[in-house]
Structure 1
Amino acid sequence: MTVEIRVPDLPESVADATVGNWHKQPGERVKAGELLVEIETDKIVLEVPAPEEGVLQSIQFERGSTVTSRQVLGLLAAGSVVGMASEPATVDTSDADIITPSVRRLLAEKGLTPAGISGSGKGGRVTKEDVERHLAALAAPVPVESKVLPPQPAIKVEPVGETQTTSSLREEKRVPMTRLRQRVAERLLDAKNTTAMLTTFNEVNMKPIMDIRKGYQERFEARHNIKLGFMSFYVRAVTEALKRYPIINASIDGSDIVYHNYFDISIAVSTERGLVTPVLRDCDSMSLAGIEHGIKSLADKARDGKLTVDDLSGGNFTITNGGVFGSLMSTPIINPPQSAILGMHKIQDRPMAVQGEVVILPMMYLALSYDHRIIDGRDSVGFLVTVKELLEDPTRLLLDI
């Protein structure tokens, strides 16, 4: 029985998708539920498993092809292992009379044909040992021939003060952009062209939070089974500041301003396919441990390509932490339709004036990019100062003051 392998139902906001890596090739045996191919959209990567056990017969769309929802990607010959051993499509029938059933079964399992395999049996028949030797030869590394280059003539240097050098090999490599990176590029360019984006800066003394982490890290990890990081403090401080400045948590819809009375914060995560911003929802009701677990879960799913459309949908405000890569200062770009984004940066010891004395403190720059069409300077600066004050005195987060 032939089973069609189809593109999964795509989200309503996704018109088409791109075929990614095929993990199986025609002639290979697959188990039910085993990954066959990846389908990449501009938001997520979908995995297409084998609907039944059998042999992959054909592939209709190769890597890089554009497909739509429910299109047929390939055909699968369904059946058990015994059924596949006698599947005529997997072995060349012209050679069937000179090979034994055991050899035919082995050829079917490995997706091979007798052609190209030297037979050592009676009358030149291909035996099981011949097939195994052929497979071993295919798996063996190809020896690299070493060549002794002839001596090169010395480069003559003219006595005119100039040094002559041989030209190095200049190469170029062209790689198509992933759907995700294309979409990110479109959104960032759209944000630059359609918003009145402005960035304001401040700096924060991270010593109080670093002291808390140093004093309570072991007990926190033993109690909650996760490390106490900086992001949980950032999220708590941002959530409290959003409560005090609701315009930062709002967005523009046509000629209306939409105020959100919930606090869903997008966390920027860098992956091999591009930058994604999964959403941590209802941050106002989460503890520090809950925030840490939520961020770790989203980051793991992002790096493994397991994010769903729901994980990426929504979000009223974004936090991006370029400090993990060593960035000292940057101007982050707004994530539409949001109205603001907060950039955190590298924590670095710097001399600071404290009560008339120079003190070395671990300082970090904060950068708030915002849409000036909806957010005025007073609100943006007030929001950023609130985040600074809450981070420099974390006790205020517990006392709600």
Structure 2
Amino acid sequence: MRLPMLRRTRTAEPGQVVGTVRLDRRTKRLAGRLRPGDIAVIDHVDVDRVAADSLVAAEVAAVLNAKPSISGRYPNLGPEVLVKAGIPLIDEFGEELFEKLREGDVIRIEGSKIFRGDEPLAEGNRHDTETVVQAMADAREGLSVQLEAFAANTMEYLKQERELLLDGVGVPEVETRLSGRHCLIVVRGYDYKADLDVLRPYIREFKPALIGVDGGADALVEAGYTPDMIIGDMDSVSDDVLRCGAEVVVHAYPDGRAPGLARVDQLGVPAVTFPAAATSEDIAMLLADEKGATLIVAVGTHDKLVEFLDKGRAGMASTFLTRLKVGGKLVDAKGVSRLYRQNLSTSSLVLLVMSALAAMAAAVAVSTLGKAWLGVAAEWWDKLMFNLFS
């Protein structure tokens, strides 16, 4: 993992961190405003890996969390990512942290204390490798409780959305043709950049329908593609990408409320809504399946139990049932890359080139035109040597 280059806004003494405050109660929303050297102030219980990856990518100087970064409910992956990247993580400041700080404040961090100038503001709990390892060990002991809750949420979702899962009731009509095609669904999740990179030959050859889930649409554009469809609650996709011409499907609550629709309407982009209790990545898979996609390739999505729990939402229970529903159509991007990519050794490549050259030479030697050409070439070579050495 690339370590952040900390460009701080003020000169700091050894052991101190000085930077400009950027704060937001939603880490995903904050990530788009961060600049290298900023100090991120968040309100995030159990920081997950996706959030931590976004903070590392933004090259923040430090992370201040009003809530516990590790509550002990389950072994969440985010704090370990931040600590390994060398980013100070200090938490459990309480709600007053958002009351004392304002966007653009320049603050100083000394150990676990925060100062604005000479004014002490707050003191929290600073994490390091040792404290994170111990907290993860403690969290694993209570994992059975979270598994029971996850199973209960899964059953509740099945009762609530069984018509959608079994019969496709509620799936909207869309203009993008998906029937008989491969669909590539991109979520801005774990390792999405690497997955997209190895899938370039697959995309070039099969030309799948490209579906971006919220910020996954930006990921497609950053990789040089134009999404065919954008699905989600529209909280992390950029305005420019929303206007790129892709068909827009706004994820709505089961009662029909769609907070993201107001933003889309304001931009003048036509859209349809998809009411469901599932996550946005799940409704993208359900829509592709219902509309007849022959293969669904997932990039950056969640496929392991620890990832479901790390997402930290009861709604992740829908992912388990969604994957059962789409069944054999769904292939993880890493699996596709291993199946599609062929490793050709250097020696094999050299042998292939030599074989091709030998075949060409043999064809020239036995053909009438080839013999004539060789005679002309030999005569030209003799004249060249005569002129050089006579």
In the superposition, the TM-score normalised over structure 2's length comes to 0.24
> Larger RCO: Structure 1 or Structure 2 (Cα < 8 Å, ≥ 6 residues apart)?
1
Higher strand share: 1
The higher radius of gyration belongs to 1
In the superposition, the TM-score normalised over structure 1's length comes to 0.23
Higher helix share: 2
